[in-house]
Structure 1
Amino acid sequence: MRSLLFLVYWLCFVSVVKARLNRCSNRDKSALLSVIGDFSYPPVFAESFKGNDPCQDWYGVECLKGRVRAIAFIGMNLTGSISPRFADLTSLSVIDLSHNLLVAPFPRFIGIVVVGLLLIGGGCIAFYLFVRMRRSNRQSESNEGLPHTQESSELNEIVESDNKAIPMQILRDATDDFRDSNIVGRGGFGEVYKGKLLDGIEVAVKRMSQSFIRGKGIDEFRSEVTVLTRVHHRNLVVLHGYCLEGQERLLVYQYMRQGTLNRHLFDWRKEGLRPLDWSRRLLVALDVARGVEYLHTLARQNQSYIHRDLKPSNVLLGEDMRAKLTGRITTKVDVFSFGVILMNLITGQEAIDETRSEGETHIVIWFRKSFREKDSFANVIDETIEVEEETRKNIEDVAELAIHCCAKEPEQRPDMTNAVTVLGSLIQQWKPAIEIEEDEMGFKTSLGEMVKQWKHDMEASSSGTSLK
């Protein structure tokens, strides 16, 4: 009997000691309370959290030795801003805030991150936001997940062990030794190959060329590995892994089965595809606008998520034909490029076409002239689009937005937030045959009022420095 009582006493003692060791530090607890306050104390927290110790009783909070290491507040309908107090959680590695309605300001990142993000627009644009916080008085952790080569040592300070390193031989097997027939894309960085891993997952393998690596490639590779290994969201393409062996640097992404927007706008006959109807084109436009808007928000917060190369070939389509954006973003320059994409969607024609009249080879000049001449504008609309009266008015509204986006002076162009609002309103008015998620609706302001509003905002901020 005494032995049993002693055992019970000992187990209780161990439980108490363990609980005290894992008790959340007062600093982390205070920071978490401030974070929740910036979310406007939604009732869902009161329903989900039990007790007073975040490390033991709070839903979505993961701790190690009393320090908060990960936060996952997924689909909790959070509103408000992302608290700068996240930066006080010095042991925090990952924040998952997907499927919420959060706005700027964003907490500071460590360093300047230039990332070639692959974004998918549509739905409520909410992203898994990876924030590598300031870790005061902490030594860099060793990186066991990377091959121990001279090249990989350059990444040790920023890439922690995450089991995403993929041996080169596996990628050779997946792509049939990088056979030319598996190339699905080319760019200044190198080639992209379609492949299949041993578990059957289809992937896109981005193999960087040596000339790209010798330039700025290592910095961009470093940034992509740092951020994308921590980012997981339906609106971001999945990074399955990476490879650093010898002089080889490869990124392994989710494979986008429908390819680029180019295929469906310009090459659909050659590819044996069905042309996109207007409702689908409008939704693709909104997808892209929301992706660019998000990155521009980061740019305004001094986070260098930049694009510089927004075009149909950098818009990828998934199995459900929802658009993903690949590349990097700049602000007003990208607004112009987005306007060109809108013109591509309306006309089904490429940006440069030598068959057009002299002086009108670029789509912006030709499109602007045709739009002013109302009688001839109908002739520039893609012949595959079924144009009824309601469709025609809808197309004209998008055309007007495209022309504003392509204004000669950057300060005369709307922000991407304005473009998202306009397109969202048009989708609500249009009511396309395809199913639209409920959170893509809710816009009640007319197009004219929206245009007036962004013009007013532009004039009000004209005394400041414009983003270009």
Structure 2
Amino acid sequence: MPSFANHTSLRYLYLDNNNFSSIPSGFLQGLTNLQVLYLSENHNIAPWTIPTELTQATSLLRFYASDTNIFGSLPDFFGSFPNLTDLGLAYNNLSGTLPQSFGGSRIRKLRLERQKNGLSGTIDVLSSMTQLSQVWLFENEFIGPIPDLSNCTSLFDLQLSDNQFTGLIPDSLMSIATLRNVSLDNNELQGPHPQFPSSVTNHTLGTNSFCKSTPGPCDDQVTTLLEIAAAFGYPSKLAKSWTGNNACVGWTSIICDSQGNIITINFAKQQFVGTISPAFAKLTSLRNLFLGDNKLTGSIPDALTNITRLQVLDVSNNNLSGLLPKFGDSVNLTTTGNPLIGMNSTSSSGNKAGMGSSGASVLPGMIAGIVIAVIIFVVVVFFISIKCYMSLVEPFASLYDDFLSLSTATGRVTTKADVYAFGVILMQLITGRKAVDDTLPDDNPHLVTWFCGILKNKESIAKAIDQTINPDEETMESIYTVAELAGHCTTPKPYQRPDIRYVVNILSPLVGQWKPTCHKLDHKFPTFHGVEDIYDSDQDMSLPQDLRSWQTM
């Protein structure tokens, strides 16, 4: 294929149905006025990826490159074309998920069917592609439920067959007035058989997991189990087994009594994600519920305490949180392996509730509080004897070693020069990163340079916080204050850095009541100007009182 680079006047390029064997590098470079590009049916082209220089064609309206040996993932720039209406990349070897940049785009015709290895993930992004009129995604590996497409008011052709869709067909799909063609066969769709209006002239629904072969409601227990599965994202392994309208016949993980009532549900060790549905409470005969060894989050619903016959509830080894509901003495509750369970996840105070057998735990909010406390502790190091606090320093030895190493150049801790080292420590505490961190971008591995670059807005700071911290709004304001202070402390020009007294004045309002346990000592510190400050510490004073006394020197 010839190169068309830098043909800035080129608007229409039709190269489909040829026998090209390769695509030259940069062949779309500089095509700033390109509006239509057709490359389809060149199946002898050597494997290639969609080049980033295509983004220079900001006026692009239609791009078709089906059956051209494209591989890799869909680039995340198609949503940036303000006028793109047609995107056809079928019969290729694309993989991965639909890019989120599709959302809000003006794409009307989307054809990505029959990828060799199959596109995967959910198709939730379609719900925000409101201009869609035709969607062909058949013969891929998409999963999850079909999203609400009611905002796609021009949709007339929806082809989703031969994937792995699960869950219920949304009622909103049947209410799209423009819809004419629907293909949903060969999936794992569940729930009631849909009944499309007569305006849908062509629809195929064969080979799914509907509860019945004709329209109408499912059995009550079946409906409840599907509600429960919805909280797990409708796992495929359940959809494959849960067929028919009787949950007591062949449904995996379900055990019933002789009257056809569900008495045991065993979802242990299934790698399920999501939350525990309160719909379990609708199964009034349930005795045993095993949910251990999954990846469930959220809290245990209070509604489960209403299951009067419940005897065993095992939620061990998940990632549950929140206060434990008050179950009766007859319930054997197992919650081990959930570090955050038994604590109020909406409060940073860490008030305990019933812990079951899970033992004590620490909330992310408490972790944030510890970070603030450690910051204040480092301030104390500046003006209280190091030996006095050795027993307290041990848990933070690595940070303390960093502080000493950064102070080696001067051989002392001063109220001005070594404030830079303190700023670095603040950055480490907030981000959980090292001063020189090889996980940072290759061109910017130094924590200080990288950190100062994210101080432009609060959103960037929030994203940079150590992932073990999940602070509430009040704690976030403290962290924003500390982050701004860290940037001030590490200003490149030493004369622009604050004095350590200023640092203490900023941080002291953040500290709670705390008293040092050491003997009364006089502390001397060389200042930036070579004059020593003398401070007398009293072990009967709280830390805020100690700080106020020192601030008045």
Global fold match (TM > 0.5):
no
Query: TM-score, length-normalised on structure 2?
Result: 0.26
Larger helix fraction of residues: 1
Compare CA radii of gyration and give the structure with the larger one.
2
Query: TM-score, length-normalised on structure 1?
Result: 0.30
Of structures 1 and 2, the one with the larger relative CO (CA 8 A, separation 6+) is 1
